[in-house]
Amino acid sequence: EYFDPKVNTVVGPNGSGKSNFFKAIRFVLGDLLSTSRSEERRGLLHEGVGHGSSSAYVELVLDNSDGRIPVDGSEVRLRRTISLKKDEYSLDRKHVTKTEVINLLESAGFSRANPYYIVQQGKIRDLAVMTDKNRLELLKEVGGTKIYEERRKESLDLMKDAGLKKKEIEDMLKFFEDKVTELEGDKEELVNYLRLDKQRRVIEYSIFDRDLQSTNTSLQAIEKKREETVSKSNAAHEDMSRAKVERKKAEKDSAQIRAKLDDLKAEQEQLATQKLDETQKKTALGLELEEMKSTGKDSVDVHKSLSSQVAELSRDIEQAKGDLATVEGDMNSYVSQEKQMESDIMQSEQRLQNLYQKEGRKKQFNSKQGRDKWIKQEIKEIQTVLKKKESSLATIEKQHSQASKLSADQEEQIRTQDKQMKERETEQQGILSELKQFRKSKIELQEERKLLWKNESKLEKEITSVKATMQKKERQVDSSVARDIQKGLKSLQKIVHQHKIEGVHGPIIELLECKDTYNTAVEATAGNVLFHVVVDSDEVATKIISHLNRENGGRVSFIPLNRIQAPKVNYPTQYGKDVIPLLKVVKHKPLFQKAMAHVFGRTLLCRTIDLASEVALSANLNCVTLDGDQASHKGSLTGGYYEIRRSKLENMKQLKEIRMKFDDLSSQSGKLKEEISSVDQKVSHILGEIQKHEAKYNRAKNQIQGLSHDLKTLVVQVDANKEQAADRVKSIEDLTLGVMQLKEQHQALSDELGTELVSQLSKKEQEEVKTLNLQVKKMQKDLMELQTKRMEIETEKNQLKTNLDTNLLKQKDSLEGRLSSIGDPKAAETLYKEKGQEIDKIVKAIGIIEAQIGSVEKEVASYQTKLSDLEEVIEKSKAIEASDAAHDQAGELEILTSKKQNLLHKKQDLENKIRDLGSLPSDAFGNHGDKSKKSLLQLQDKVQNQLKKFSHVNKKALDQYMNFTEQRDEYSRRFKEQKREEAKISELIDALDMQKDELLERTFKGVAREFVRTFTELVPQGSGELVMIRSFVQSGQSKAKKYSGVSCKVCFGGEETKKMEQLSGGQKTVVALALIFAIQRCDRAPFYLFDEIDAALDPQYRINVANIISRQANDGQNPTQFIQTTFAPELVKIADHVYGV
């Protein structure tokens, strides 16, 4: 989110990071961390404990819609990035220097001389306590007078340097004038001296020339002898080189065998470890089987005993359930009889009560009407009670019917769930069987994968070794060709692969083969042509060359098969096997016949260089020997020692073999990886199936547990429903009996209604009362007997039920739990067989490992034998290399070389002496040719004695005279130039002083004018002004020295005018703010940053400050962006955008 173009306010508590906005902007603008010391950068990146960042950046997005910044675009992104080692800027993602950033910002209005567009915390306080002198320096800084002062200082330094140079030039000029005057008298003696010196040099030349000729003759003799010694030494060195090559090859093979032995020893250790692991597994399984043997029999006996007890308990439980059912039937019968008898007793007692009430009506009522009225009232109440009881009876009967139906449904559900549980148990057993099979397959596949991993590790190790050898050999091949050709061949492969160019067959060296004997001859003949690339046509070559040019891919030479023709050559036959065409020893495909004929067709292979020279001239063909010595048909001979170890064909042959081996190993590795991938897929599939079956097994187990729980819950519910049903049946019976009694009472009262009111019962009714009394007594007696029998049967029933629930069923559950913990003996027997089979597999694996160990030991013995043979070859080669023949030749050669060096030094000295004699006249070379060396030496002594007379003569007087004269003139010219330069510097200093004073006065006037306006805006009832303090001007003192400070005089609302020292802290802050606003108005910036500038202000001054900021931000002609931090609501109110931190 961008800042608003007008007023932006950042608010937040102390310590929340408000000032970080300003520090970040100051950091990009270069005001913060202007130095590049690593300690400061480290402190800025991270302080405190913990892991710090290695780099950081801040990016400013500047609005450039008005084109203020001289950069294309409406937005400019300026970023500064620092790390521990660098500090750099970027402008719109492009790197720029700090100087460029400073110049760019100054062109946009960010003046370095006036940094008050950023007012940070503490700046107001510093301005408030600033002295008059410091305030003057501030105006100088704002006005930019420091630039003039720096230039004036530079000019004074230049003036001082110019004065020193002038004094130095003046001294040198006087020196050279004295020298020229002194040398004018030595010229005549110098002429005579030069004549005699010329004679001396001519004589010395003759002596030196004779010595030089003698030295050259001696050098020729030594060089001839040295060539003979070199020839012998080369032969000895050739023998040593061959021995060295054989030794290197043997050492290489020896190193490979040692590496193979190390691998075999590592394999031996690995096999021994595997054997130990398998043996430990076998021992552990054996102990486990022994334990299973010892505990298996007891387990079977316990299982049989527990199974027998469970069966016996099951029979007892069935018997107990049968007895319980019989007793419950008897008890139900007695309960029915008891209820029927209680019903009969109640009916009889109700009838007796009715009769007794009828008999007492006469006593109760005085008239028939009174009795009938009471009877009607009783009938009405009985009907009401009867209606309620019949309603209750209907409700209970309905509930009983619904409960009976629910019980039937639950019993059906119990049977269904019991069936489902058995089906789930069967399904669980099937899943468990499949799970065991899958786990067995997983173990087998994992063992197979371990073996494949082992083979893969071994193969990868071998591939790594071969790849390293191949890369080394490729480097050897690459080193034998120029770098641009090497680069071109690599680019060729890339281009052909990327652009799918067909018709490219490769370099000549990859398309031919020959015996090792002919390698040197073939390489000497072909040279760099071995790396020319064979293509089908020139069109293919042109296409590749265009890609090479575009990609700067090096250089490649091509042999297009459509453009070349095989040369027609008549090979000489008179030399027999001593001369054969080189083309015959080069093997290649028929497709490349023309290319091979183009390279080797005009070359013959000869036995010796002498024969080659003869045949080359006679047959007009090039010839080459097996050693690589060449004879051209033009007559030139080329030859010398050829380093066999650097044979390009041999290296290429080895590289091809290594590449074939690498490709074969890579193919094997690919197939092995496919097998491993296939086994991984199978293992993953098996693991997936195991997870699925385990999930199925657990799901079936959970379902069985759920069904078992639900089944038990249903059984409990059915039992509870039965008890509730019994209670409801009893309630129904009680209600039915009550209804019958009410109906009988109702019927009796209805019958009595309207009858005569009598004082005693009729005879029939009296008989009935008597009979009923007897019946009630008899029935009560019978009821007591029934209740006694029913209680006895109920006690027996409770005992049977208690024995069944708390004893027999719990014993059965306990025994079944023990059976479950012991497990199935058949499963234990199966496990025992599986363990035995596992031991058989381990024994078989141990046998395989032992066989592998034996094979590895045989292979180790074979390699050790080969290693011994190679060590013998190495010792023999070392003996040849240590032979004294080469050392003797080297010693003699060293002596001859030393003599030659001495003669060469002597020759060099003589040539230097002749050269030191300088130029001589043309007649000097033959003047003394007939004189002996002795005569020349005598003549030399004579001339030397004559020269001694002129020993005092300045032999360089003439040269010195001319030299000093030229230098005198040069210093005279430089002296005049230096005087002119001093005058110009003095004029520049005066001009700078004048410009500085004018700028200071102009800056002071502008700031003072704006200070008066700004202070009035801040303190409407007050006034203020800036006063320039002038110092005492002495005579001759420059004008720049006449100002000593700037004073502030202000008046706050009717008070007397005061200076800064007389103001309170808040008033000083107001004056400091007025000065800052005045400076900003004189030199406006694109935006301003204020960091809590109102901290020490009173509320009324905060309002005035806010009004100033608001007016300046909304100025129609020159609006300015403000970004400020504050705690005051007065400044928050004017904000166009507020940010909380």
Q: What is the 3-state secondary structure (H, E, C) of 1016-1062?
A: HHHCCCCEEEEEEEECCCCCCCCHHHCEEEEEEEEECCCCCCEEHHH
pLDDT over 80 at 929, yes or no? no
Query: Distance between CA atoms of 29 and 1086, rounded to whole angstroms?
Result: 13
Amino acid identity, residue 86?
A: K
Question: Hey, which bits of 169-233 come out as E strands?
Answer: none
pLDDT at residue 534 greater than cutoff 90 = yes
Q: What distance, in Å, lies between the first and last C-alpha atoms of the chain? A: 15
Neighbours of 976 (CB within 10 A): 10
pLDDT value at residue 621:
92
Helix or strand (DSSP H, E) at 83: strand 75-83
**Banded model confidence at residue 1035, pLDDT cuts 50, 70, 90:** very low
For residues 1063-1089, average pLDDT: 78
Highest mean pLDDT: which range of 406-415, 613-622, 865-874, 921-930: 613-622
Amino acid 237: pLDDT: 60
CB hemisphere CA count around 1034 (13 angstroms): 1
The per-residue pLDDT of the chain, averaged, comes to 78
Least confident of 54-68, 818-832, 1100-1114: 818-832
For the cut 90, the answer to whether the pLDDT of residue 1109 exceeds it is: no
Chain mean position to CA 1094: 49
- The mean per-residue pLDDT over the stretch 218-228 comes to 80
Q: pLDDT tens digit string along 984-1001?
A: 777 777 777 777 777 777
Does the pLDDT of residue 1066 top 50, yes or no?
Answer: yes
Instruction: Dig out the tokens for 8 from the structure.
Output: 């932006």
State how far the Cα of 12 lies from the Cα of 1126, in Å rounded to an integer: 8
- Per-residue pLDDT for 137 more than 80? no
- Better-scored residue on pLDDT, 647 or 426: 426
| DSSP label at residue 6 | S
Instruction: Output the 3-class SS for 506-543.
Output: EEHHHHCECCHHHHHHHHHHHHHHHHCEEECCHHHHHH
- Structure token digits, residue 388: 């309620």
Give the pLDDT score at 603.
93
Q: Which strands, in side-by-side order, build the sheet including 75-83?
A: 55-63, 75-83, 87-91, 94-96
pLDDT of residue 185: 58
Say what the pLDDT of residue 1039 is.
Answer: 45
| C-beta of residue 621 within 8 angstroms of C-beta of residue 602 | yes
**pLDDT-derived band at 597, boundaries 50, 70, 90:** very high
What is the reported pLDDT for 581?
Answer: 92
Per-residue pLDDT at 394 exceeds 80:
yes
Mean pLDDT, residues 907-920 taken together? 75
3-state secondary structure at position 106: helix
Are 1113 and 1121 contacting, i.e. CB atoms less than 8 angstroms apart?
yes
Q: Output the pLDDT for position 1037.
A: 43
How would you classify the pairing of strands 579-581 and 75-83?
unpaired
> Among 826, 730, 843, 723, which residue's Cα sits nearest to residue 286?
843
Highest mean pLDDT among 516-530, 706-720, 814-828: 516-530
Q: What pLDDT is attached to residue 186?
A: 60
More confident residue, 113 or 324: 324
Within 263-400, strands assigned E span none
pLDDT band per the 50, 70, 90 thresholds, residue 640:
confident
For residue 535, pLDDT over 90 is answered with: yes
What pLDDT does 924 receive?
Answer: 58
Mean pLDDT on 147-157: 74
pTM of the complete model: 0.39
* Closest of 604, 615, 578, 580 to residue 525, by C-alpha: 604
Look-up of token digits 């003589």: 910
* Angle in degrees, CA 1066, 1071, 1074, rounded to 5: 125
Nearest by Cα to 528 from 574, 473, 486, 481: 481
Going by pLDDT thresholds of 50, 70 and 90, the confidence category of residue 1036 is: very low
Question: CA–CA separation, 484 vs 555, rounded Å?
Answer: 6
Percent of the chain with pLDDT over 90: 4
pLDDT digits (tens, 9 = 90+) for 672-693: 889 989 988 988 888 888 888 8
Residue 188: pLDDT band (50, 70, 90) is low
Residue 622: per-residue pLDDT: 92
Alpha helices by DSSP H, 10-88: 19-29, 38-45
Is the separation of the CB atoms in 800 and 324 below 8 Å? yes
Q: For residue 1139, give every residue at least 6 positions away whose Cβ sits within 8 Å of its Cβ, in sequence order, or none.
A: 8, 9, 10, 11
Strand partners, 94: 91
pLDDT at 515: 84
Strand order in the sheet with 558-560: 504-507, 533-535, 558-560
What pairs with residue 535 in β-bridges?
504, 560
pLDDT (tens digit, 9 = 90+) per residue, 573-583?
Answer: 888 888 899 98
Residue keyed to tokens 């016949």 = 593
Q: Quick one: pLDDT at residue 963?
A: 73
Q: What is the pLDDT of residues 770-811, one digit of tens each?
A: 888 888 888 888 888 888 888 888 888 888 888 877 787 777
Tell me the residue type at 941. D
Under DSSP, the state recorded for 4 is: P
CB 730 within 8 A of CB 393: no
Query: In the predicted model, is pLDDT for residue 453 greater than 80?
Result: yes
The average pLDDT across 439-464 equals 84
Tell me the per-residue pLDDT of 826-866, one tens digit each, with 9 for 90 and over: 555 666 677 777 778 788 888 888 888 888 888 888 888 88
Q: Which of 90, 79, 80 is nearest to 36 (CA)?
A: 80
- Which of 753-787 are b and which e, b meaning 16 or more Cβ less than 10 Å from the residue's Cβ? eeeebeeeeeeebeeebeebeebbeebeeebeebb
Check the CA dihedral 1056-1062-1065-1067 and report its sign.
positive
Q: What is the mean pLDDT of residues 538-563?
A: 89
Q: How confident is the model over 256-260, as a mean pLDDT?
A: 78
In the block, tokens 């067995």 appear at 440
Between the alpha carbon of residue 562 and those of residues 541, 546, 559, 596, the distances in Å are 11, 19, 9, 14
Query: Which regions of 595-651 does DSSP assign to beta strands (E)?
Result: 603-606, 622-625, 630-631, 637-638
**pLDDT of 142 over the 80 cut:** no
Question: Which backbone phi and psi does 779 adopt, to 5 degrees?
Answer: -65, -35
How many other CB atoms are found less than 10 A from the CB of residue 292?
16
CB distance 1056 to 1089 below 8 Å: no
Residue 1038 has what pLDDT? 44
Ranked by mean pLDDT, the top range of 61-65, 128-132, 164-168 is 61-65
Token pair recorded at residue 703: 């379902």
What does the pLDDT read at residue 1040?
43
- Token pair in block for residue 869: 């043979």
Could you give the dihedral angle defined by the CA atoms of residues 793, 799, 801 and 802, in that order, rounded to the nearest 10 degrees?
A: 160
